[in-house]
Amino acid sequence: MKVKIKTALISVSDKSNLKSLIKNLSKYKIKIISSGGTYKKIRSYGYNCIDISEFTGLPELLSGRVKTLHPKIHSGILSDRRNKIHMGQLKKQNFEEIDLVVCNFYPFENILKTANKHKKILENIDIGGPTMVRGAAKNYKDVTVITSYKNYEDLFKELKLNNGSTSMMFRKHMSEKAFMTTASYDGAIFNYFKRLSKNKYPEKYITVSNKVEELRYGENPHQTAAIYSLKEGQKIEQLHGKKLSYNNYNDIFSSLLISKSLPKNQGTVIVKHANPCGVSISKDRIMSFKLALNCDPKSAFGGIVSCNFKINNKIAKEINKIYFEIIIANGFETKALKILKRRKNLRIIDSTKVKIEEFSNITTNFNNLLIQSSDLKNINLKDFRVVSKAKPSKKVMKNLIFAFNICRFVKSNAIVISRNFSTVGIGSGQASRVGSCEIAINKMKSQKAFKSLKDELYAASDAFFPFTDGIEKLVLSGVKAIVQPSGSINDKDIIKFANKMGIVLVFSKTRHFKH
Amino acid sequence: MKVKIKTALISVSDKSNLKSLIKNLSKYKIKIISSGGTYKKIRSYGYNCIDISEFTGLPELLSGRVKTLHPKIHSGILSDRRNKIHMGQLKKQNFEEIDLVVCNFYPFENILKTANKHKKILENIDIGGPTMVRGAAKNYKDVTVITSYKNYEDLFKELKLNNGSTSMMFRKHMSEKAFMTTASYDGAIFNYFKRLSKNKYPEKYITVSNKVEELRYGENPHQTAAIYSLKEGQKIEQLHGKKLSYNNYNDIFSSLLISKSLPKNQGTVIVKHANPCGVSISKDRIMSFKLALNCDPKSAFGGIVSCNFKINNKIAKEINKIYFEIIIANGFETKALKILKRRKNLRIIDSTKVKIEEFSNITTNFNNLLIQSSDLKNINLKDFRVVSKAKPSKKVMKNLIFAFNICRFVKSNAIVISRNFSTVGIGSGQASRVGSCEIAINKMKSQKAFKSLKDELYAASDAFFPFTDGIEKLVLSGVKAIVQPSGSINDKDIIKFANKMGIVLVFSKTRHFKH
């Protein structure tokens, strides 16, 4: 059903394209009601416009808090045009129909950015605007509602096509957008209050996020997918290559969590299927890359490399020898970028702007949300206790911390074997801990350089060893020091076993399951 | 700052405890304004109450759509009591302060349940209520807002403590709840419109969920956590045992996804660390359990059993021989429940009411949301193509479908070896496919009964084999038929290899990565 627009109410905080809006509405001789800044602007363009106070007969009250909250406005918006009683009441009260509401609110996120005083923030919460928008959206059978200047062009097309009217489909679509706008506006306000009161898990959990892009598909081609952002400024900056896929994003996030946890400007992480398959830190950055690659070159094929340093010429050449899907770094030297760009499809990501910060981790299943705080706390020496007779040197302790930190990012059960701040064997995703030990050991032994290894080997486990079997396998493979969370009823036996074998055993207070 | 309550505006859809509210307000001689059903109810209790039309001097308009949308109401709510101009305007207009707004809306979820006509649903969208609530919440420095009868007792305590006043802390807390209420109300409306227009990935993605419970901790003790529900009626019913933990919920969802995908009343799934370590279907239900357990009894220890049938006496006894953390089933016979309850801590879950249905799968990372449709589509024969010279019998095909279906729920890379509709080896979470093959084969070979296996062995892979190495290992271990998605540049070589070895090879159109 087409509805002719005769009267429009305009109240916009964002005045982009306002002139073009008024010009277009004037083509159809649409009467315009407005107030405050919008009114002044419209008059400055040389168009006619009725001030809202003149329209309602009531002066603007309470520093502008009460302008549109008037029955003449809301009866004009909310009346059912096919209801004779409604129409009779309008006539009796000398009210008139309002057919178009154009209204946008000052974005609450911007308020938070610019106003740091709570009082100022409160003042900026719009009451009249959302009421008009909600009313018009509810009554979309008769009323058109526009909540963003981005939809002005759509409105112009619609008016042109229908000679000053709008179609039901258009009005319904705009009504959906209107409720999206009011819901996200109040969602942002609620989340602000929630943050102030530190109410982490309120009765209702409301997330409002902005679409970054729709993805070609999800984990698999028969699944649809999209990526949204809860917060600005955490965007991945892609410099080159094919469009990022769902699995790309998933791998990128996994690898960034690890590389951002490593000492600055020296860490390389290689990720495949969201699990690390090689991690190394070294001030010699080429070595950092080479050692990360050495851990499991077979798995690295087609994987992701994430360096927490700037990539130069030399490293780029080294990287280009292998087929990777994605290269992430804290910047690229011009020459390096040129070299990497030779591979047409290679996705190149600059992660300089991505910051590691506390966030809530959400997963859904069966329409349930499991929410938890993230496991991003830095590994702390205070959480460790040496339980073996053999005592670790500072160097050994540092190596154990390196291995234990990587463990946090490997899917459980996780076993990491390292030497000289590089992983040499990673065992992941096994239901039994000894199974993960075997995988880590096999990976280590399959390395060409394995037999010539003369450095000490270290191992870390994400949770306690339930029996001595896993530790035994590690020690027999050459591991000299192990870190693990305590908590098993067999802890004593495990300490006894470590002492028998003469290795260093360190217990951590924190466990690091990841599923 | 304490604020004395002199005038209250009450408009409630849910009239629970209304009498008690009025009785308490009357103790402090609070003037009450109300309308419609609330007004009638208050009068029926024998209390004084001013009708809103009398208060504003305007009759109720448009079948009740415009009652409270009046400057007298909103000036009363929004005026800053410390602002002389505001107070002067109030006096001049003959308006008066409103200090308490008690208002709840008919829940939109309930509207959707009871009204199936879009028109009826639209009619029920409240415009006046949210406006008063938002106004009062914004102006909480002066006004108290109550949006649920569940907070009446808090209000009574507050009034008693402060002799008819409320404290700033209380008002701010109620204001937070008010914005939670309006945001979730509009969130529900938006999601309804979104569903209607099939707009799966709109500009903004808004989730509104209700707290089920806070959890003791997250995946690890140093992480906080809670579980929320996006939809009613999908709750897990716990019959016995310790409180469910984050990891319990995660495992329960993983296991239910699998057991609900199996033919009804014959499937058993054992899960550990969110990965299946044994799955079987058999009309002989004890066999179904025993064969699922046989796949990897070591990993099953401390795991979850999920049966998609009712558990009887005999099965309960069998289950009780092993230490499990959780037993899930579609009901329990009385005797069986009694037997299982002997283990004090064992969590017993009835999953009869949990329905498998299409849902959006959300994961967050770095304040980004990755959203995808779930991979729940039933495996379809049409998606398969036999590519080997050897052709599968119906029985072989059914076995392949069984194995391929399990693959979907195993973390990538996933290899499942099965015989007679039971898994005998599951390889998961490896960066290389051949690695997962090796794990699956080793698991199979470690079974006591392995050497006496005379049935045919089948294997499934969640994604294509990049080389023949993985397939070769499977065939050399006795596998006679394999299903895998196609898509490798080496597909032809793989077919050739299958023909050379004389096995059945089936290609699937769908891939099933899971990370």
Q: For residues B505 and B503, what is the distance between their CA atoms, to the nearest angstrom? A: 6
> What's the pLDDT tens digit per position in A31-46?
999 988 999 999 999 9
Residues A345 and A424 in one domain: no
Beta bridge partners of B225: A372, B215
* CA B367 vs CA A92, A401, B12: distances in Å: 54, 27, 37
Contact with chain A for residue B16, Cβ under 8 A: no
Query: In the structure, what pLDDT confidence band is assigned to residue B182 with cuts at 50, 70 and 90?
Result: very high
Mean pLDDT across the stretch B86-91?
Answer: 90
Could you tell me which residues come within 8 angstroms of residue A67 by beta carbon, excluding any fewer than 6 positions away?
A35, A36, A52, A53, A60, A61, A128
Per-residue pLDDT of A431-463, as tens digits, reads 889 999 999 999 999 887 666 666 789 999 999
Confidence grade of residue A319 (pLDDT, cut at 50, 70, 90): very high
Asked if residue B367 is part of any domain, the answer here is no
Q: Which residues contact B400 (CB under 8 A, 6 or more apart)?
A: B384, B392, B458, B460, B481, B482, B483, B504, B506
DSSP label at residue A62: G
For residue B363, the chain A residues in CB contact (below 8 A) are: 250, 362-364
Give the domain range for residue A474.
Answer: 375-508
Same domain, B163 and B20: yes
Say yes or no: B43 and B146 in one domain.
Answer: yes
Q: What whole-number distance in Å separates Cα of residue B404 and Cα of residue A471?
A: 35
Whose CA is closest to A77, among A138, A2, A156, A158? A138
What local confidence, expressed as pLDDT, does residue A157 receive? 97
Q: A498-515: per-residue pLDDT in tens? A: 999 999 999 999 999 999
The overall longest dimension of chain A from CA atoms, in Å, is 98
Residue in B89, B299, B432 nearest the CB of A432: B299
Residue A473 CA: distances (Å) to CA of A476, A479, A504: 5, 9, 15
How far apart are the C-alpha atoms of A158 and A108, rounded to whole Å? 30
| Chain B residues touching residue A62 (CB < 8 angstroms) | 75, 78-80, 83, 85-86, 89
Three-state DSSP state, A190:
helix
Q: Residue B119: what pLDDT?
A: 87
Nearest to B223 among A125, A249, A372 (CB): A372
Q: What is the DSSP-derived secondary structure letter of residue B61?
A: B
Q: Which residues contact A378 (CB under 8 A, 6 or more apart)?
A: A261
- Beta-strand (E) ranges in B284-323? 304-307
Query: Is A198 exposed, middle or buried (CB count within 10 Å of its CB: 0-12, 13-18, 19+)?
Result: exposed
Predicted confidence at residue A356, as pLDDT, reads 78
Tell me which of A319 and A118 has the higher pLDDT: A319
Number of domains in chain A: 3
Residue B335 pLDDT greater than 90, yes or no: yes
Q: Is there a catalytic annotation at residue A273?
A: yes
pLDDT at B129 over 80: yes
Nearest chain B Cα distance for residue A209, angstroms? 5
What pairs with residue A482 in β-bridges? A459, A505
Q: Mean pLDDT of all residues in chain B? A: 94
Helices (H) and strands (E) in chain B, counts: 19, 23
pLDDT on residue A234: 63
Clarify whether residues A186 and A248 are in a common domain: no
User: In a 10 Å sphere around its CB, with 0-12 CB exposed, 13-18 middle and 19+ buried, how is residue B201 labelled?
Assistant: middle
Q: Give the Cα separation of B491 and B482 in Å (integer).
A: 13
User: Mean pLDDT, to the nearest integer, of B334-340?
Assistant: 97
Domain boundary among A335, A350, A365: A350
Q: Is the pLDDT of residue B453 over 70?
A: no
Task: Count other C-beta atoms under 10 Å from residue A113's C-beta.
Answer: 10
Q: What is the DSSP string of A352-421?
A: TT------EEEEEETTEEEEEE-S-PPP-GGGEEE-SSS---HHHHHHHHHHHHHHTTSPSS-EEEEETT
Q: Which two tokens stand for residue B30?
A: 């609070």
* A229 DSSP assignment: E
Measured between beta carbons, the chain A residues lying within 8 angstroms of B371 are 225-228
Per-residue pLDDT at B231: 81
Both A66 and A166 in a single domain?
A: yes
Average pLDDT in chain A: 94
Q: What is the pTM of this model?
A: 0.94
Query: Which of B350, B385, B402 corresponds to the end of one domain?
Result: B350
Residue B217 domain-assigned (yes or no): no
Average pLDDT score over residue span B67-93: 93
Supply the pLDDT for residue B488: 94
Are A97 and A148 members of one domain? yes
Residue B158 in tokens: 């507050």
> Does A359 fall in a domain?
no
- Given pLDDT bands bounded at 50, 70 and 90, which one contains residue A233? low
Same domain as A440, residue A478: yes
Instruction: Tell me, yes or no, if B273 is annotated catalytic.
Output: yes
Give the mean pLDDT of B33-44.
Answer: 94
Range of lowest pLDDT (A51-55, B114-118, B215-219, B269-273): B114-118
Query: Which residue type does A412 have?
Result: S
Distance CA B25, CA B27 (A): 5
Q: Please tell me the predicted confidence (pLDDT) of residue B111.
A: 83
Interface of A with B in 253-312 (CB under 8 A): 253-254, 256-257, 272-275, 277, 296, 298-300, 303
Return d(Cα B108, Cα B185) in angstroms, integer: 6
Residue of B nearest to A121 (CA): B138
SS3 A215: strand
Both A325 and A382 in a single domain? no
pLDDT digit string, tens, across residues A91-133:
999 999 999 999 999 888 888 887 778 888 998 999 999 999 9
Of B273, B272, B316, B288, nearest to B420 by C-alpha is B288
Q: Do A192 and A62 share a structural domain?
A: yes
Q: Which residues of A touch B324 (CB under 8 A)?
A: none
Q: Which of B172, B218, B366 sits opposite A256 (nearest CB)?
A: B366
Residue A231 confidence class, pLDDT cut points 50, 70, 90: confident
The catalytic residue among A15, A138, A141, A173 is A138
Residue where one domain finishes, among candidates B146, B168, B196? B196
List of residues 6+ apart from B181 with CB closer than 8 A: B104, B105, B133, B147, B148
pLDDT at B149 over 90: yes
- Residue B490 shares a structural domain with residue B378: yes
The three-state secondary structure class of A134 is helix
Q: Span B472-492, mean pLDDT?
A: 96
B402 lies in some domain: yes
Share of chain A above pLDDT 70, in %: 98
Given a contact cutoff of 8 angstroms between Cβ atoms, the answer to whether A352 and A333 are in contact is no
Q: Is residue A363 part of a domain?
A: no
What confidence score (pLDDT) does residue B132 get?
97
Phi-psi label, residue B429: left if phi above 0, alpha if psi -120 to 50, beta otherwise:
left
Candidates A1, A67, A69, partner chain B, best to mutate (most B CBs within 10 A): A69
**pLDDT of B209:** 95
Percent of chain A with pLDDT over 90: 85
Residue in A66, A86, A246 nearest the CB of B74: A66
- Cα A294 to Cα A45: distance, rounded to the nearest angstrom: 68
CB pair distance less than 8 Å for A372 and B219: yes
Decide if A133 is inside a domain.
Answer: yes
- Cβ neighbors of A380 (< 8 A, separation 6 or more) are none
**Touching A: B residues 26-65, CB under 8 Å:** 58-59, 61-63, 65
Q: Which of A186, A359, A462 to mutate to test the interface with B (most CBs of B within 10 A)?
A: A186
pLDDT at A15 over 90: yes
Q: A142: Cβ–Cβ under 8 A, 6 or more apart, which residues? A: A3, A79, A80, A81, A97, A99
So what's the pLDDT on residue B450?
67
CATH code of the domain covering residue A494: 3.40.140.20
* Confidence category of residue B107, pLDDT binned at 50, 70, 90: confident
Reported confidence tier of residue B358, pLDDT bands at 50, 70, 90? confident
Taking a C-beta distance cutoff of 8 angstroms, is the pair A371, A384 a contact? no
- B19, B138, B173, B240: which one is catalytic? B138
Residues B37 and B73 in one domain: yes
Among residues of chain B, what percentage have pLDDT more than 90?
A: 85
Q: How many CB pairs under 8 A join A and B?
A: 440
Return the pLDDT at A117: 86
Specify if A361 maps to a domain.
no
Q: What is the mean pLDDT of residues B144-161?
A: 97
> Looking at the predicted complex, does its ipTM rise above 0.85?
yes
Instruction: For residue B9, give the CATH number of its domain.
Output: 3.40.50.1380
